[in-house]
Chains A and B, each alone.
Chain A
Amino acid sequence: MANLDIVKPENLVYTKTKVLTDNVMHYCPGCGHGTAHRIIAEVIDEMGIQDKTIGVSPVGCSVLAYNYFDVDFQEAAHGRAPAVATAIKRLNPDCFVFTYQGDGDLAAIGTAETIHAANRGENITMVFINNGIYGMTGGQMAPTTLVGMKSATTPYGRRVDLNGYPLRITELLATLPGTYYVTRQSVHTPGNVRKAKAAIRKAFENQKLGKGLSFVEICSSCNSGWKMTPVQANKWMEENMFPNYPLGDIKVDGKLCDNITADRLVLDHPLTVVNK
């Protein structure tokens, strides 16, 4: 027990942010939600806005996000978080309002709410966790499921002729004048976590400017739904998700980034994955 001697306040080099509660998260080991939660909470803490932040959680794996963030929180109906957040922000313009949604919630059932909140230029932060699958309900096809990717409802792989194309809603939102900041990040390596946190910080800081919606996609793995180990899932994400969902800023300060050409924005032929 000698090593416990070093557990003293003066030796503390790292601690959980106070904006996260002590509740034990229900997320699967290997899932990106915990890291995504943490960097959002750290940004809220570092900006000193805990008493002014209102979060909106979705339906899906992160439905219980309100148990983990120590800020006022509302749980929206499936897909409706952007509408809920719109009114919170309009009626409480001094508050920092963010939504936290998965791909089924944001890009399937809530597509209209997402696009119209963005198109109105609501001064909110939207965090979008894209893992290409419905995690909570058991791994069914999401709008973001890759062509050829197996899921509970595409057991032989997603087929374009049956199921259409993977929806790159982040690129779509970047084309709307109401979005001020649009980026895609990941949290699967320490370096990416740092970049994602900087993006979240920018997305929250932008609310002070009142120039439109800030949208941060976090491309994430779902090792349970993908039926892989966490390490395999991260590798598979790099090899298959990232070519379809390239990381990096798409629109900054209301302008498309220089590297975002028409070819980058419009993917004519989505890459087909060789199935896991």
Chain B
Amino acid sequence: MAKELKLMKGNEAIARAMIASGTDGYFGYPITPQSEVMETLMAEKPWETTGMVVLQAESELASINMVYGGAATGKKVATSSSSPGISLMQEGLTYLAGAEIPCVIMNAMRGGPGLGTIQPAQSDYFQSVKGGGHGDYQLYTIAPSSVQEMYDFVFDAWDIAFKYRNPVLILTDGAIGQCMEKCYTRDYIPRWTEEERRKNAPWGTWGKPATRSHNIITSLELESSRQEVFNQKLQAKYREMEEKEVRFEALNCEDADYIFVAYGTSARICMKSMELARAKGLKVGLLRLITLYPFPKKQIAEFAKKVKGMLCVEMSAGQMIEDVKLAANCSIPIEHYGRFGGIIPSPEEVLEAMEKEIIK
């Protein structure tokens, strides 16, 4: 499919980008508000065109372990879910991180805790960037704030996943998953050939030829001294990501006295709040976080030297703010404003919070 401008849902964009980016397999389980990902894939029948495998699993436990199996063979394998399903996947995610398997997972967050609500939320931040499962590990976590970014970030996710042999989490929410926006599609990237798969994943379980020893995919190391060495290697990889792969967007920050810090849907709301503030003559900017892990620590520390205060806007009780405060070393006033349980704040109430809590 050639490059086109189309109107589509965020969830649909994820599915179409998977096909276009040469994804080999998708394994999913239905859950609101992201079921359109698998529905789109099933309707598109990519197995007849690109050869991509699509399978509905019996549970999220199964789907993430299908990702673990398929991706371990050095193929591009993805899944998607929403908060309760992502919680079920945590076991698989820690195995994927521990065995260093590249893969892509999308979480369209909904309000929790528990079964919660099916409305959008951003209350899985801690789960996403602080590990989520057991053990010391990180998922590269990237947060789109438009349908276009939902599409584009799938392509970026594959690059990062294979560059670092690490799972990539596309962390979005029900609002971006469900909303329809225009989206430029891309030319299809063909799925890897057998030769490319073997070259790009020499570590994979694709059948042992006589020329190499058998490849083993495991996260088990019973010898503690070796497990520590492995953990140090993982940590070195994460430091490299922190050094090289941070992404953010600074809007109207050059002359700003105050800035919003937000990602995803909250950042979209803050864009409007920022316009409203500027119309009132308030010098307000927006630091829109794109990668949540690696977190833009240095950049926030720099902004903390320039501005008088920051308002962290999240659809949660205040999770990302902890990392913002740490990065800024609490050197300036930093407050949280958020709605949760599936409520999306209005641009006006966000601006009001900025005026009341930060500008004063």
Q: Does A70 contact B (CB under 8 A)?
A: yes
Closest CB of chain A to B118's CB: distance in Å? Answer: 24
Task: Identify A76's interface contact among B65, B67, B215, CB under 8 A.
Answer: B65
A56 and B67 CA atoms in complex are apart in Å by: 14
Near A by CB (< 8 A), chain B positions 62-93 give 62-63, 65-73, 75, 77, 91-92
A51 and B215 CA atoms in complex are apart in Å by: 11
Near A by CB (< 8 A), chain B positions 161-205 give 204-205
Q: Does B206 contact A (CB under 8 A)?
A: yes
Task: Identify A83's interface contact among B61, B71, B214, B215, CB under 8 A.
Answer: B61
Q: Which residues of A contact B70 (CB under 8 A)?
A: 87-88, 90-91
Q: Does A69 contact B (CB under 8 A)?
A: yes
Task: Identify B53's interface contact among A54, A74, A75, A90, CB under 8 A.
Answer: A90
Nearest residue (CB) in A for B215 is A72
Give B35-75 as 1s and 0s: 1 = Cβ < 8 Å from A's Cβ atoms. 00000000000000000010101110111011111111101
Near B by CB (< 8 A), chain A positions 51-90 give 51-54, 56, 63-64, 66-67, 69-77, 80, 83-88, 90
Assess the A83–B216 pair: CB atoms within 8 A: no
Assess the A77–B92 pair: CB atoms within 8 A: yes
A112 and B99 CA atoms in complex are apart in Å by: 24
Q: Does A116 contact B (CB under 8 A)?
A: yes
Assess the A54–B207 pair: CB atoms within 8 A: yes
A50 and B59 CA atoms in complex are apart in Å by: 32
Closest CB of chain B to A184's CB: distance in Å? Answer: 25
Q: How large is the interface on B (under 10, 10 to 19, 20 to 34, 35 or more residues)?
A: 35 or more
Q: Which residues of B contact A54 (CB under 8 A)?
A: 73, 205-207
Q: Does A95 contact B (CB under 8 A)?
A: yes
A66 and B222 CA atoms in complex are apart in Å by: 14
A72 and B217 CA atoms in complex are apart in Å by: 8
Assess the B61–A113 pair: CB atoms within 8 A: yes
Give A98-114 as 1s and 0s: 1 = Cβ < 8 Å from B's Cβ atoms. 00000000000000110
Assess the B65–A53 pair: CB atoms within 8 A: no
A63 and B220 CA atoms in complex are apart in Å by: 9
Assess the B65–A113 pair: CB atoms within 8 A: yes
Q: Which residues of A contact B235 (CB under 8 A)?
A: none
Q: Does A92 contact B (CB under 8 A)?
A: yes
Task: Identify B62's interface contact among A66, A95, A113, CB under 8 A.
Answer: A113
Known: A77-B91, A80-B65, A91-B53. A51 touches B58 (CB 8 A): no
Closest CB of chain B to A108's CB: distance in Å? Answer: 14
Task: Identify B69's interface contact among A52, A63, A76, CB under 8 A.
Answer: A76
Closest CB of chain A to B67's CB: distance in Å? Answer: 7
Q: Which residues of A contact B127 (CB under 8 A)?
A: none
Closest CB of chain B to A93's CB: distance in Å? Answer: 9
Q: Which residues of B contact A72 (CB under 8 A)?
A: 204-208, 214-216
Total inter-chain residue pairs, C-beta < 8 Å: 128
Q: Which residues of A contact B58 (CB under 8 A)?
A: 112-113, 116
A80 and B219 CA atoms in complex are apart in Å by: 14
Nearest residue (CB) in A for B204 is A72
Assess the A92–B73 pair: CB atoms within 8 A: yes
Q: Which residues of A contact B75 (CB under 8 A)?
A: 91
Closest CB of chain B to A161's CB: distance in Å? Answer: 30
Assess the B217–A74 pair: CB atoms within 8 A: yes
Q: Which of B77, B210, B220 has the most CB of A within 10 A?
A: B220
Closest CB of chain B to A204's CB: distance in Å? Answer: 14
Q: Which residues of B contact A92 (CB under 8 A)?
A: 73, 206-207
Nearest residue (CB) in B for A119 is B58
Nearest residue (CB) in A for B69 is A84
24 contacts between A and B (CB under 8 A): A50-B208, A51-B207, A51-B210, A53-B207, A54-B207, A67-B216, A70-B214, A72-B207, A72-B208, A75-B216, A77-B68, A80-B65, A83-B66, A83-B69, A84-B65, A86-B62, A87-B27, A87-B53, A87-B65, A87-B71, A88-B72, A95-B207, A112-B62, A116-B58
A residues contacting B by CB (< 8 A) are 21, 50-54, 56, 63-64, 66-67, 69-77, 80, 83-88, 90-92, 95, 112-113, 116
Given A21-B214, A56-B69, 4 more contacts at CB 8 Å? A75-B219, A83-B62, A87-B25, A91-B70
B residues contacting A by CB (< 8 A) are 24-25, 27, 53, 55, 57-59, 61-63, 65-73, 75, 77, 91-92, 95, 99, 204-210, 213-220
